[in-house]
A and B are shown apart, each in its own frame.
Chain A
Amino acid sequence: MDWLQQLINGLAQGSIYALIALGYTMVYGVLRFINFAHSDVLMLGAFAAFFLAPVVGTILPPQSYLGAFIIVIVSAAICAAIGILIERLAYRPLRNRPKLTVLITAIGVSLLIEFTCQHNAVFGARTRPFPRLIPEHNFHLGNIVIANHDVLVPIVTAALLALLWLVVQRTKIGMAMRAVAFNPQAAALMGVNINRVISFTFGLGSALAAIAGILYAMRAPGIEPLMGIQPGLRAFIAAVLGGIGNLPGAALGGLLLGLLETFAGGIPGISNYRDGIAFAILIFILLFRPAGLLGEVKTEKV
């Protein structure tokens, strides 16, 4: 029954990757560049929850689901604001510059957040234990043990995905997002306020990253300013795997990567190469589908 345990682990891990990947892919969809600072927003989300938990704990009984919900919502809002601010200050002035310039700026922003947070006057570089946000209990199924965290993660992800789908497909701002992704110039001519759409996209992506960061922290040994790098990189791979710019692709890529990684990690001999597996999967798939699983191959018109 070991595989069932692995499956649940993989699903939980993959859901987190999927949530982060959505942020990468949404930003890529509207601005066509990789927001390297996304993984740091995830870390900031976990830290926001870390500092909020004791505050909320003074009002509500500790480890209550309502308290956790409030913490998550407030953290997401804080990160949404941070995401919007990053775009406003660092990326917007470069809107019409070559993509490479924006990419390097994004790397700069990422480094700035990481090094600032590592400074002793901010969070410091040490790892801190993440507070328990919800009561912990385990389900026993025969001889396997399933933690409620691990079940919660895919459920939260599924709910958020459904919500995101509704926003993108059924709301006016979602339609504007799709229009900007399709053709920003045409969208602007049709009266879409591009700046608002881009801010909204950054806000939404950062909020998802914050939630993913909290879920990640709940399963991790602790939190520290560089904690976002590894899941961020995996999520980035997941987004490319699914076809960058494609929302269902990001979700699929994330889940697939989480599952494959978990199962491959369980195979003795391969488990040592854990950090390389995600990339190996990515390269293998891109060889056969150069635009990712759900991405469309754009042939250049000659």
Chain B
Amino acid sequence: MSASAEPKPDSLLKMQRCTIRFGGLTAVSELDLRIGGDELIGLIGPNGAGKTTAFNMITGVYQPTEGEIHFAGTPLSGQAPQEITGLGIARTFQNIRLFPSLSVFDNVRVAFQLRQTTGMFQSLLRGAAFHRNEKLIESEVLEILDIFKLSRFRHTMAKNLPYGDQRRLEIVRALATKPKLLLLDEPAAGMNPTEKVELTRLIGFIKEKFRISVLLVEHDMQVVMGICQRIVVLDHGVKIAEGSPTEVRNDAKVVEAYLGDSHLKKPAAAVD
């Protein structure tokens, strides 16, 4: 194993022997996963391998049947999704889930209610502190929209955005919660090759600019192989391989799991 593929000792996220069962079905079995600070990890596997389920365990949508998850030293068991977001894990969804009837501006703006100091009563009293705070939020929202070239859409309802921009907005919205770890659930789904290249660049840019860790669930090998430092492969809910892109690509078990699925794309002339 190459040094860069080793999980860093000071793990930001530590998933230990996590198992989840739905009725009789074991969706994910004894999954160990460590993500260090400033890492970009790929989680791959064929359809139904349990990638999104692993995601949902981390974000509190599901509670693991067995096992523990720690984030920056805090156990996540029993925490609601919104509490986990508050701790610093943000996510996107496989099937884009924006707030369709809210403007682009408002979609990002709501992220700030998490850390703001003005709540219900300030909203009612509308004093100086409230207005100062709202101004501050406004400028921050506009700033982040500017970075991702979405400010010209600020008054557009999210549902009226073009598809690619909706994907981007969802990532921006997640970033606005100021996470330490960003989880991206199949961001390349439904994109054409050009858009995929752009997305790859965008993810690299985010990692550089915001200095955060990223866990990328992806079906598309090209995207994952191109940018991830370390890749974890799931099949039928079990981790079958972990390592650098080169190691994973040459792993016999991985090849077998993907055979007949995307082996046509596998010899990817990309990295080598």
Contact = CB atoms under 8 A, between A and B. Distances in A.
A adjacent to B, CB under 8 Å: yes
Interface string A113-127: 000000000000000
A20 to B, nearest CB: 35
Contacts, number: 4
Contacts of B56: 302
A302 B52 CA distance: 8
Contacts of A302: 52, 56, 61, 93
A302 B53 CA distance: 9
Nearest to A301: B95
B84 to A, nearest CB: 13
A46 B212 CA distance: 70
Interface residues of A, number: 1
Contacts of B93: 302
A98 to B, nearest CB: 12
A302 B27 CA distance: 14
Interface string B84-101: 000000000100000000
B159 to A, nearest CB: 14
A18 to B, nearest CB: 31
Nearest to A300: B61
Interface in B34-91: 52, 56, 61
A302 B61 CA distance: 8
Interface in A288-302: 302
A76 to B, nearest CB: 43
Nearest to B91: A302
A192 B262 CA distance: 36
A267 B174 CA distance: 57
Interface in A258-302: 302
B184 to A, nearest CB: 14
Contacts of B61: 302
Nearest to A302: B61
A302 B59 CA distance: 11
A302 B94 CA distance: 8
A52 B61 CA distance: 59
A99 to B, nearest CB: 16
A208 B101 CA distance: 41
A240 to B, nearest CB: 25
Interface in B104-127: none
A302 B55 CA distance: 10
A302 B56 CA distance: 8
A209 B52 CA distance: 46
A302 B95 CA distance: 8
Interface string B245-263: 0000000000000000000
Nearest to B81: A302
B236 to A, nearest CB: 19
A302 B217 CA distance: 14
A75 B52 CA distance: 55
A123 to B, nearest CB: 45
4 contacts: A302-B52, A302-B56, A302-B61, A302-B93
List the 4 shortest-distance A-B pairs measured between CB atoms, nearest first.
A302-B61, A302-B56, A302-B93, A302-B52
Interface of B: 52, 56, 61, 93
